[in-house]
Chains A and B, each alone.
Chain A
């Protein structure tokens, strides 16, 4: 669009085309501002200044609305699909790796487990029809594990832009998993922190509600190191405190979108106090 540099947003091929107007406002540029209202009237784009501002109002609202809509479609929905695909790849790779760990040693004579073992088997040059199948299966496992890593990288990057504060507090992967479990950033932001605390522990929660178990202390936030490393007996308080701060971060991300570094410090301080309780006893 370099030929448009230095021209007003209204100077384009077809002034009646909404798409073109949006494109010009969104992607156009100029080194310096000019007296655009006067130029627009002189160019016949508007009959007078009032008419110009009316048209500008309509065009800027139209453009902003479209950007917001695209962003919303793009952001957390893509993120949710990616997180779920990442979990699927992980689960499937592990499941097939287990199958491989049972099968492959009967042919190769070498024992092993997991994805690393699949990588070793995948390197083999198969000599029999059975070995061909085993090696091919191992390559599928490796491909799935690689796809999981690529999805993970995508999720990390995307979460940092969708939910900068939640990512900073929870880590990008846990943040993305919470968003996926809640069904989006907005639903997550609207959940009470007690619900956030047990997201991912629905089975245990419903068992508790039916009166068959104690209430779960934590759901997926268990993967957060401040909960995992909290002294036994204080894990519930750590989970509750973390859930409170994560809820707050999700709300800031959803409603303001602005990064607030002070949230990190609040969480660190709160966790330090909980972890210090053990020392006092």
Chain B
């Protein structure tokens, strides 16, 4: 299994961990320019760790939905090219700003991922990768609505959170429904449960159709 260029497995305190090169953001262990990518705190990190082909490649253009405090998107920006980070809640954006200040290719946007028209005047078209990690209902709709930003051969890498749809329902049912929704607009290439790193999350990689 090959890692994307710019992501390596390196030893930190005797443990092999994913790492990218960039200024530290959240107190993660560092080794020279390299900093550990905590796969327990990052669903995209977990996907890459599991060998999924997420579409993250060196220099790729990326739209990241649900950037939160910037933990994962900071690693993405270490590897990728222009990286647009959308987060709706102003509070975590404070930390996201700190990560973005050190990274000239990371553009923070305080926007609602359910309303792409509110950022389509800023985010460019023909992107290589759409990363989705939003904790809202109707995550499939978010993926479909944001397909407009992707290039024909772009990739969607989404972590579907069962509890955001409905805490009381069986995650399997929630995932089946979400996948059906995503397939309206995408061809699903790969899926994997992220347990035990991330309970009740389904990782999905897909390509627009």
Chain A residues near B105: list those with CB within 8 A. Answer: 53, 57
Known: A37-B124, A257-B89. A31 touches B117 (CB 8 A): yes
Partner of A64, one of B108, B121, B124: B108
Instruction: Please state if B90 and A35 are interface contacts (CB–CB under 8 Å).
Output: no
Interface string of B154-186 (1 = CB under 8 A from A): 000000000100010000000000000000000
Instruction: Please state if A53 and B121 are interface contacts (CB–CB under 8 Å).
Output: no
**Residue A148, interface by CB 8 Å:** no
Chain B residues near A26: list those with CB within 8 A. Answer: 110
> Which stretch (A65-73, A193-201, A230-238) binds chain B?
A65-73
Instruction: Please state if A64 and B110 are interface contacts (CB–CB under 8 Å).
Output: yes
Instruction: Please state if A35 and B125 are interface contacts (CB–CB under 8 Å).
Output: yes
Instruction: Please state if B93 and A34 are interface contacts (CB–CB under 8 Å).
Output: no
- B interface, over-half SS: mixed
CA of A24 to CA of B119, assembled, Å: 10
**Residue B120, interface by CB 8 Å:** yes
**Residue B69, interface by CB 8 Å:** yes
**Residue B62, interface by CB 8 Å:** no
CA of A16 to CA of B124, assembled, Å: 21
**Residue A256, interface by CB 8 Å:** yes
Partner of A33, one of B104, B120, B163: B120
Chain B residues near A184: list those with CB within 8 A. Answer: none
Shortest CB–CB separation between residue A6 and chain B, in angstroms? 8
Closest to B100 in A: A61
**Residue A103, interface by CB 8 Å:** no
Q: Looking at chain B, what size class is its interface with the partner chain? A: 20 to 34
Instruction: Please state if A33 and B100 are interface contacts (CB–CB under 8 Å).
Output: no
Interface string of A117-135 (1 = CB under 8 A from B): 0000000000000000000
**Residue A154, interface by CB 8 Å:** no
CA of A63 to CA of B119, assembled, Å: 13
CA of A64 to CA of B101, assembled, Å: 11
List 23 interface pairs A-B (beta carbons < 8 Å), by A numbering: A9-B122, A28-B121, A29-B118, A29-B120, A33-B149, A34-B125, A35-B125, A36-B123, A57-B104, A57-B107, A60-B100, A61-B108, A64-B108, A67-B90, A67-B93, A253-B91, A256-B68, A256-B89, A256-B91, A256-B92, A258-B89, A258-B92, A262-B163
A interface, CB within 8 angstroms of B: 4, 6-9, 24-26, 28-37, 53-54, 56-57, 60-61, 63-65, 67-68, 71-72, 253-259, 261-262, 265
**Residue B106, interface by CB 8 Å:** yes
Instruction: Please state if A53 and B82 are interface contacts (CB–CB under 8 Å).
Output: yes
**Residue B109, interface by CB 8 Å:** yes
Chain B residues near A63: list those with CB within 8 A. Answer: 109-110
- The CB with the most chain B CB atoms within 10 A, among A63, A68, A256, is that of A68
CA of A71 to CA of B163, assembled, Å: 27
CA of A63 to CA of B100, assembled, Å: 13
Partner of A24, one of B90, B92, B107, B121: B121
**Residue B94, interface by CB 8 Å:** yes
Apart from A53-B104, A67-B93, A256-B91, what are 7 other A-B pairs with CB-CB below 8 Å? A7-B121, A57-B100, A60-B109, A60-B122, A64-B97, A255-B91, A258-B68
**Residue B73, interface by CB 8 Å:** no
**Residue B96, interface by CB 8 Å:** yes
Instruction: Please state if B126 and A56 are interface contacts (CB–CB under 8 Å).
Output: no
**Residue B148, interface by CB 8 Å:** yes
Chain A residues near B125: list those with CB within 8 A. Answer: 32-35
Instruction: Please state if B122 and A71 are interface contacts (CB–CB under 8 Å).
Output: no
Closest to A186 in B: B91
